[in-house]
Amino acid sequence: MLTTTLARYFARRFITASLAVFLGIFLLLVLVDYIEMVRRTSSIPTASAIMVAETSLFRVPQLLEKLMPFCILIGAMSCYLALSRSLELVVARAAGISAWQFITPALVAALLMGVLATVVYNPISAAMQERSKEMEAKLFSNGGVQNVEQSWINQVTSEGQSIISAALSQNQGTRLSGVTVFRFNPDGSFRDRIDANDANLEPGEWRLGGARIHSMTAAPVIQDNLLLRTNLTPAQVRNSFATPETVSFWQLPGYIQSSASSGLATAGYRLQYQKLLARPFLLASMVLVAAAVSLRFFRFGGVQKMVLSGVAAGFLLYVLSKVTEDLSKAELMHPLAAAWLPVCVGGLTGFLALLHQEDG
């Protein structure tokens, strides 16, 4: 069945519908994110429309990566509904082809798309996310960093405690922009505050650029380069500033190993790695769910209810994945179980529903 002309036709219709949904959501996200970036940069005179558009364009692929299962679900539903409306499924059934046979090409196509999404799309989206952070840092460094969620990290050295705040982080936290450092003496008393344009992590020290030192006993002092001692390693900084979603699939094993050797929590990185491994099977389970709610013939009626039930099933799977993800990050559930449980639930639900409809 996989090598026949009919199988290639069904696979082509499924891939076309899924890519159309993917492209439509991509354009919508770009538009919404561009409007938000325009609002945030409205007070920065040096922010050009082209640079703002490029920043939004580089940010969207990672957002769209989270919606990929829904793209497959909606694409498969629209594909099978179109085939049913044009009576092509009726003709296929009359020719002795079962539902399992014309679902198989879509399952294989979904698996291949999931593999490509994991090994190709994910590294590209991670690189584009880093590029968007660099462009965002350039935008806000000229007009001041505004409306940005601050990230914090604490360090204690022989010189005392330092609390570092950054508006933007790049290279998994080793390059910071919009930096504020609160320094305390070894006895716990406040020493001074440092405002810097950027900070780069080097072995044993932070190199602050464009630093301005504010103390309670002297006038502000400006230094182009200021060295701040640190005992933090890149793995420890990543744990505070970087998110697992910004690490590409090929780099995750190294990040997990380095974080584990440093004694840091690795639940987030392990969960992300397992989710990427499970992605091809998650997309295949979305095809099963979509087929279970969209193979009903139009002349039987009730198509609208079936479509709504498919959308509801996708929403419930999303809620389940978020719950298991939070439990895994809190180390209340093993990352392997948290990543694969939605896949098993979605796949078994679609399979049992199809089994009941076709053979039951």
pLDDT tens digits along 239-259: 666 677 778 888 888 878 877
The one-letter amino acid at 360: G
Q: CA-CA distance, 139 to 137, in Å (whole number)?
A: 5
How far is CA 13 from each of CA 77, 87, 109, 140, 184, rounded to the nearest angstrom?
11, 14, 11, 45, 64
The pLDDT of residue 340 is: 93
pLDDT, averaged across the chain? 83
| Element holding 201 (H helix, E strand) | strand 190-202
In what order do the strands lie in the sheet containing 175-184?
Answer: 151-157, 160-170, 175-184, 190-202, 205-215, 221-229
- Specify the pLDDT at position 275: 92
**CA dist 280 → 74, 123, 163 (Å):** 16, 16, 42
Distance, in Å, from the CA atom of 284 to the CA atom of 113, rounded to the nearest integer, reads 9
Query: What are the start-end ranges of the H helices in 205-334?
Result: 234-241, 252-261, 267-294, 303-329
Question: Average pLDDT in the 292-303 region?
Answer: 66
Per DSSP, the three-state class of 178 is strand
| Residue 30 vs residues 47, 89, 120: alpha-carbon distances, Å | 18, 36, 21
pLDDT band with cut points at 50, 70 and 90 for residue 218: confident
Share of the chain above pLDDT 90, in %: 22
Q: Of 120-124, 157-161, 347-351, which one has max mean pLDDT?
A: 120-124
Q: How many CA atoms lie within 13 A of 128 on its CB side?
A: 18
Of 140, 241, 149, give the one whose Cα is nearest residue 197. 140
What is the spatial distance between Cα 69 and Cα 281, in angstroms, rounded to a whole number?
10
The confidence score (pLDDT) of residue 144 equals: 45
Q: Taking a C-beta distance cutoff of 8 angstroms, is the pair 285, 103 a contact?
A: no
For the chain, give the number of residues: 360
Helix ranges (H only) for 86-209 are 88-94, 99-116, 122-143
- With CA atoms as reference, report the closest residue to 230 among 174, 285, 273: 174
- Is residue 166's pLDDT more than 50? yes
CB atoms closer than 10 angstroms to residue 170: 21
- Distance, in Å, from the CA atom of 36 to the CA atom of 348, rounded to the nearest integer, reads 40
For residues 230 and 246, is the Cβ–Cβ distance under 8 A?
no
